[in-house]
């Protein structure tokens, strides 16, 4: 029988672009309530894997099941409706819109009233619905401590704040699974500490399972329950953070080390 604790199962996923093999026979599973990190050098296939899960890419081979439902062939919007949200490595905000409006976009799939029934807006309770969604967004704004910029135009904000706004938009989906593509990239130490705290709170207090790509090994070691390592599109290790970082293949392929006696100091910093 299927294990009800398994939220996401990826089986033998392969993805090619012409003659370039982005992913080759990658398999892993994520249990409900986990923070699961995917690490590896640049070009290892990490973002390609998130794109396969979220529906931006359709793999050439393999299967992806979410809550025991096959995802291959489903559009990204369909996957959002099933409870999968994500952020992007390159920010994908609407820069001309306010922070509040950007986050409200994340609620669009939950709206029942639309322009077709706009003429009887009040009778159908659309105003009440909008107020309910606005209250949800305000909770997220308070949680991510961005009330002071709620009316600011997204494109005018600093990089760190825009990353926080994008996280807010993904959280607005109220997903069961949230995919985070380098959430700490480009941030200073204080911003990274704040973002790591938000990820932990989303997992522990908001009940979201997290699949995260991250280059900062200090963050990965501190907050991940399990870690998978990709190299040239293939999985080379998976397990508890300490076990993975002690793996000689990981030291050689990812950290660029020989079979040295220790990885602790190398794993503690930022790896490009």
pLDDT digits 0-9 by tens, 135-184: 889 999 999 999 999 999 999 999 899 999 999 999 999 999 999 999 99
Mean pLDDT of 73-89: 90
114-118, 138-142, 254-258: least confidently modelled range:
114-118
pLDDT for residue 130 is more than 90: no
pLDDT for residue 121 is more than 60: no
Pairwise CA distance, residues 212 & 45, whole Å:
13
Contact between 54 and 79 (Cβ < 8 Å): yes
Q: What is the pLDDT of residue 132?
A: 75
pLDDT for residue 263 is more than 50: no
H/E run at residue 105: helix 99-105
Domain residues of the chain, as ranges?
Answer: 1-83+175-272, 93-174
Name which of 192, 105, 194, 107 is nearest 145 in CA terms.
194
Residues 6+ apart with CB under 8 A from 249: 229, 231, 236, 237
Confidence band for 272, pLDDT divided at 50, 70 and 90: very low
pLDDT for residue 88 is more than 90: no
Domain topology for 1-83+175-272: Rossmann fold (3.40.50)
Higher-confidence residue of 29 and 269: namely 29
3-state secondary structure of 266: helix
pLDDT over 90 percentage in the chain: 67
User: What does the pLDDT look like over 18-65, one tens digit per residue?
Assistant: 889 999 999 999 999 999 999 998 889 999 999 999 999 999 999 999
Name the pTM for this structure: 0.86
pLDDT for residue 262 is more than 50: no
Confidence band for 267, pLDDT divided at 50, 70 and 90: very low
Query: Average pLDDT, whole number, for the chain?
Result: 86
- Of 85-89, 98-102, 124-128, 202-206, which has the strongest mean pLDDT? 202-206
pLDDT for residue 111 is more than 60: no
């Amino acid at each position: 029988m299927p294990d009800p604790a398994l939220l996401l199962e990826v089986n033998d996923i392969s993805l090619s672009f012409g003659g370039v093999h982005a992913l080759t026979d990658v398999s892993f599973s994520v249990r409900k309530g986990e923070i699961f990190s995917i690490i590896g050098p640049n070009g290892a296939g990490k973002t390609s894997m998130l794109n396969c899960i979220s529906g931006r890419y359709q793999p050439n081979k393999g299967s992806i099941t979410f809550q025991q439902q096959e995802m291959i062939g489903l559009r990204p919007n369909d996957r959002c409706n099933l409870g999968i949200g994500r952020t992007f490595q390159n920010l994908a905000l609407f820069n001309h819109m306010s922070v509040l409006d950007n986050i409200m976009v994340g609620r669009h799939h939950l709206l029942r009233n639309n322009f077709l029934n706009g003429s009887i807006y009040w009778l159908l309770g659309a105003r009440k619905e909008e107020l309910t969604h606005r209250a949800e967004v305000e909770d997220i704004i308070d949680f991510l401590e961005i009330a002071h910029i709620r009316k600011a135009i997204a494109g005018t904000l600093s990089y760190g704040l825009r990353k926080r706004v994008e996280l807010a938009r993904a959280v607005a989906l109220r997903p069961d699974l949230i995919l985070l593509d380098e959430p700490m990239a480009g941030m200073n130490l204080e911003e990274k500490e704040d973002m790591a705290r938000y990820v932990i709170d989303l997992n522990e207090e908001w009940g979201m399972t997290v699949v995260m790509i991250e280059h900062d090994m200090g963050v990965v070691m501190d907050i991940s329950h399990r870690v998978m390592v990709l190299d040239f599109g293939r999985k080379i290790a998976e397990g508890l953070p300490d076990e993975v970082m002690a793996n000689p293949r990981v030291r050689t392929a990812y950290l660029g080390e020989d079979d040295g006696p220790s990885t602790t100091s190398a794993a503690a910093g930022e790896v490009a």
